[in-house]
Amino acid sequence: MKDQLIIFDTTLRDGEQSPGASMTRDEKVRIARQLERMRVDVIEAGFAAASNGDFEAVRSVAEAIKESTVCSLARANEVDIRRSGEAIRPAARSRIHTFIATSPIHMEKKLRMSPEQVVEQAVKAVHWAREYTDDVEFSAEDAGRSELDFLCRIFEEVIKAGATTLNVPDTVGYNVPEQYAATLRQLIERVPNSDKVVWSVHCHNDLGLAVANSLAAVMSGARQVECTINGLGERAGNASLEEIVMAVHTRGDVFPVETRIDTTQIVPASKLVSQVTGYTVQPNKAIVGANAFAHESGIHQDGVLKHRETYEIMRAEDVGWGANKLVLGKHSGRNAFRARLQDLGIEIGSEEHLNVAFARFKELADKKHEIFDEDLNALMRDESVTPEAEHFRLVATRFHSETGETPQAEITLTIGGREESTCAEGSGPVDAAFKAIEAIVDSGSELLLFSVNAITTGTDAQGEVTVRLSRDGRVMDGQGADTDIIVASAKAYLNALNKLQSTATRLNPQV
């Protein structure tokens, strides 16, 4: 019998630390439900002490998820841990994940604590966490640059205090596979009672080695891997869940472990996370990229036609490609609409909310013949924005663009319920639309990113636009979708402005 490799997904916490990728509470719940459908073992729902919004998001995930363990991150202090304990209280299965830095540079320059003080604080943190749950994970932040003797010492003490999972994160993506594997091997050999805990790894991709380091650690005895959908995460991102899972699944002859993951849910999860965060997946991304199972070379095409395994080591359908079939059209009824939303993990609160969403669906169905799951996800993402959160709202647009003439955009908005209109010129209709919006709102924001992606195929496909704005040190992504790409652009710009308008603050510990 092979050991089980625990898949710990931190898309909702570490993934959210990607610039502009913050999620609403409802978006976190939707992604969490998809992760549960995929049979992820542990879902790190967020950092409950960061803000009231984060606390409510973690609590909402804890209430919604029944099969997976729901986890909250906490620094090694009493306030953070008690906040996390309250947030995860409704969960059927709960975990507190507490951490403190252990590398010399972090202890001296960031914490300004002695090694003895760090050990003492770590032990206290585990004791506090044990008041709320028997499932306590301890992370030695920046373990990849920590001294081995000190790691052995602190891990020994937190095991005595009641930690059940020990995480050895390569926080800054500094390690290489052989070195990292040796570190795990020595820790397991040297730490007393190491067989009483689960050893975990959390690798960052700064050198492009997050997956390689994680898998090397598995070969040395790690039995939990912390990862994210699409490799999302701060800086260069985290180890990619889909790559970890499919490496273990495909190379069962090499790895002494297996996962519980339903691999057919990988592509739907990837698409959902991409749509919610606005982070598109590169076409040549392993497993979930659009080209992952495409063959251009004539030699490759000939081989695949004769026998698939000549050039394919996995089946596209095994990871969920082709799973999102045509589901709805203009003649579909309310019950079919509601049922498909439920299949996608989208909750409809009230009958009134359903009526509004269904009316928007019918409007979309009049514009495009075939409605796909991706269309519904985009539709309901826009629908999930509450009136209170929509300080700026698009009312009407009018665009003019022709060869030899300067493009113009006329925009009508409501600002806190007050309607205003203006017209502006630009180098193109999108530029004109953005200038018209700024002429009304005067936000002082800087445009960092403008990205367009077709949600599905065909000339009638909805265009999905991502806009990244920066103001006063805050960075927010906005998304908008429409069959008219200029309208989608205006929606995305306003969505980003509404997020910047929010006064919620965030703390972003990096583990």
Could you tell me which residues are annotated as the binding site? 14, 202, 204, 238
Identify residue 503 by its one-letter amino acid code. Answer: T
The sheet carrying 392-400 orders its strands as: 392-400, 408-415, 418-425
Give the C-alpha separation, 114 to 120, whole Å: 10
Q: Are strands 42-46 and 6-9 parallel, antiparallel or unpaired?
A: parallel
Retrieve residue 453's tokens: 């992606």
Q: What is the CA radius of gyration of the chain?
A: 24
- Give the side-chain half-sphere CA count within 13 A for 86: 11
Backbone phi, psi, residue 181, to 5° = -60, -40
Q: What percent of the chain is helix, strand and coil (3-state, nearest 5)?
A: 45, 20, 35
Give the C-alpha separation, 210 to 128, whole Å: 31
- What are the DSSP calls for 37-81, one per residue? HTT-SEEEEE-TTS-HHHHHHHHHHHHH-SSSEEEEEEESSHHHH
| Burial tier of 419 (Cβ tally within 10 Å: 0-12, 13-18, 19+) | exposed
Give the C-alpha separation, 32 to 43, whole Å: 7
Q: Are strands 257-258 and 3-4 parallel, antiparallel or unpaired?
A: parallel
Binding site for Mn(2+), residues? 14, 202, 204, 238
Residue 90 DSSP SS3: coil
Reading phi first (left if > 0) and then psi (alpha if -120 to 50, else beta), residue 327 is in alpha
Retrieve residue 76's tokens: 């090694």
**H-type helices in 297-413, by residue range?**
298-306, 334-343, 351-367, 373-383
With beta carbons less than 8 A apart as the criterion, state whether 273 and 261 touch.
Answer: no
Give the C-alpha separation, 121 to 113, whole Å: 10
Selection from 154, 168, 89, 78 nearest residue 123 by Cα: 154
Query: What is the DSSP code (8-state) at residue 207?
Result: T
The CA-to-CA distance between both ends of the chain, in Å, stands at 32
Backbone phi, psi, residue 78, to 5° = -65, -40
Selection from 178, 183, 259 nearest residue 224 by Cα: 259
